[in-house]
Amino acid sequence: MSEVDSIEKQEQDNPGLKKAGVIYGDVGTTEFTCTITSAKVEQGDYVQVLHEKFGWVLGRIDEIKRKTNLTVDKAKELMNGSDVDIQETILAKVVVIGYRDEKGLLQYPRIPFNVGSIVYLAQDEFIRKVIGLKDIEKSGAYIGRLFKHKNIRIYLDINIMVQKHVSVLAKTGAGKSYLTGVLMEELLKKDVTAIIIDPHGEYPSLKIPAKKTKIHDEFGVTPRGYASKIKIFSPDTELNEAKPLKFTLASMTPRELINLMSLDTRQFLIPLRKAMDLLRTSRQFFDVKDIIRVLESEDSPTLSPLIAQLEYLSEMGIFARKGTRIDDIVTKGKVSIINLRGVAPDIQELVVQRLSMALFELRKRNKIPPLMLVVEEAHNYVPQQGMAASSKILRTIASEGRKFGLGLCIISQRPAKIDKNVLSQCNTQIILRVTNPNDLRAIGNSVENLTKGSLEDIQRLPIGVALVTGGNISMPLFVEIRPRETKHGGESVKVI
Ligand SMILES: Nc1ncnc2c1ncn2[C@@H]1O[C@H](COP(=O)(O)OP(=O)(O)OP(=O)(O)O)[C@@H](O)[C@H]1O
Ligand SMILES: [Mg+2]
């Protein structure tokens, strides 16, 4: 007698089982081919097969094709209106996912399935069990449901996300910011502290409830706003509802300041250092205007380019005698948005650098609560090629942040253009549609367990479906992202 119940018995015990096909040809332990006998079966569907020794095993249809006997000549006859007898079979390649043993560990069957075994569409409970999905409502972020499986909710473990970093990658317009908004709503609900670097000003809409739709009901989501838990800061003091974000000039080195200006370092570093040193001897705090005053008193025409650049910096209003206090920006259980809309790129880099350095230092000394730093358009702040002012500190946070409870969430439309080391430190990976071959390669290199079929699927993902892996999700899963509770701030602009 076999070690598991017969198929007849198992079918009797699982009356809902639906046949998908039959195993044929050469059978491996990690993949096999089957004929498809049901018109309902699609690529990406989960299937289950009874193994005579190991019991039910889960697999996923990785590729599917229709094989026919229609030759070119016969096709021509068909064009001319003749009757042609066409024989066809639908064939699929199934990648074996495995089964859970008595200890609950995921195992592969070490003996191939019997050829001729019946392949069934997998049942929700069995998928949940093998994939190891738990409804971790208390510590998890509800991001959506398993694609095509209405009853399987997907939660991402928030502790793992904050400790081990997250990446959200996709081509432009594929839904990165929408999804990051979903993540932020979940953090807000669980009183997790976060700072968002928001180059386009898309996140203040987390304050405003979304308009309710049928999809909200389908996903069990109720629109709401988080106005009381959102703080907005910006270097641009004219931005509505934003508090001013300023940095203490006295804490900058002359070299850092020169790097912000398109000036020849050799020519201007020494006079700038002299001016700043002079100011430091007489006072603890000073601003850009004070430096300009000292330089003007030199009465030297060669200094005018430096003075002109400093005037520009002064106008930017990013430096002050006393900068914004970091403990003003970081508040336990709240999300602070650093709105950089309309701010020049070099100033943006400086803001990210100063802020990240302060967060890292204060987290090390436990002066601020554990938090997640969300960086939109991350390829600009930690590029693979060249350096941004913020590159070094973001790399440090990626490699050391986990020791201090400072998590990174990296978002980018150009995965190939972000520092590879930073990307590879992100343990939870969320990928939406990507088509650029370089970006696909970068993703293929940084995501484990991606099958050839899944990499192809990424190129065709519909808006709102993501491939999620890592963290508490032990294998790549396609997830239909839940609708937003709050208004999405990054709606595409209609031209007509
Ligand atoms: N899960 C979703 N459900 C419904 N609509 C979505 C979803 N995701 C994205 N959209 C829609 O798609 C559009 C683009 O989304 P989003 O702004 O998130 O793209 P993006 O990847 O951040 O683009 P960019 O690279 O330009 O910043 C938006 O208008 C949004 O409403
Ligand atoms: Mg976006």
pLDDT above 60 (res 296): yes
Check whether residue 305 and residue 410 sit in a common domain: no
- Backbone torsions φ then ψ of 56, nearest 5 degrees: -70, 135
494 in a structural domain: no
Check whether residue 297 and residue 372 sit in a common domain: no
> Which of 101, 131, 161 is at the close of a domain?
131
Look at residue 446 in the predicted model and tell me its pLDDT.
Answer: 81
495 in a structural domain: no
Can you tell me the distance from the alpha carbon of 106 to that of 104, in angstroms, rounded to the nearest whole number?
A: 7
Percent of the chain having pLDDT more than 90?
Answer: 71
Q: Is the CB of 211 under 6 A from ligand 1?
A: no
Nearest alpha carbon, ligand 1 atom 12 = 175
Check whether residue 292 and residue 346 sit in a common domain: no
Residue type, 364: K
Check whether residue 381 and residue 470 sit in a common domain: yes
Site to substitute for ligand 1 among 412, 488, 493, most atoms within 8 A of C-beta: 488
Can you tell me the distance from the alpha carbon of 443 to that of 52, in angstroms, rounded to the nearest whole number?
A: 37
What spacing in Å lies between the alpha carbon of 176 and ligand 1's midpoint? Answer: 6
Check whether residue 206 and residue 348 sit in a common domain: yes
Check whether residue 307 and residue 358 sit in a common domain: no
- Backbone torsions φ then ψ of 398, nearest 5 degrees: -60, -40
Minimum-distance ligand 1 atom for the alpha carbon of 174: 21
Site to substitute for ligand 1 among 178, 196, 482, 484, most atoms within 8 A of C-beta: 178
CATH, residue 433 = 3.40.50.300
Report in angstroms the alpha-carbon separations of 41 from 47, 460, 489: 10, 18, 37
Check whether residue 36 and residue 83 sit in a common domain: yes
436-456 mean pLDDT = 85
How many structural domains are present in the chain?
3
Residue 68 pairs with which residues in a beta bridge?
A: 88
486 in a structural domain: no
pLDDT above 60 (res 4): no
Work out the angle at residue 361's Cα, subtended by the Cα atoms of residues 241 and 188, and round it to the nearest 5 degrees: 45
Look at residue 162 in the predicted model and tell me its pLDDT.
Answer: 92
Report in angstroms the alpha-carbon separations of 269 from 273, 299, 304: 6, 17, 14
> Which of 288, 320, 352 is at the close of a domain?
320
Taking alpha carbons only, the member of 292, 262, 265 closest to residue 276 is 292
Check whether residue 235 and residue 254 sit in a common domain: no
Task: Identify the domain containing residue 44 by its residue range.
Answer: 7-131
Among the bound ligands, the one closest to the CA of 215 = 1
pLDDT above 80 (res 51): yes
The single residue listed with the structure tokens 């938090």 is 371
- Mean of the per-residue pLDDT values for the chain? 91
Q: Is the CB of 481 under 6 A from ligand 1?
A: yes
Among the bound ligands, the one closest to the CA of 179 = 1
Check whether residue 443 and residue 340 sit in a common domain: yes
Check whether residue 345 and residue 231 sit in a common domain: yes
> Which of 108, 131, 154 is at the close of a domain?
131
Check whether residue 92 and residue 163 sit in a common domain: no
pLDDT above 70 (res 96): yes
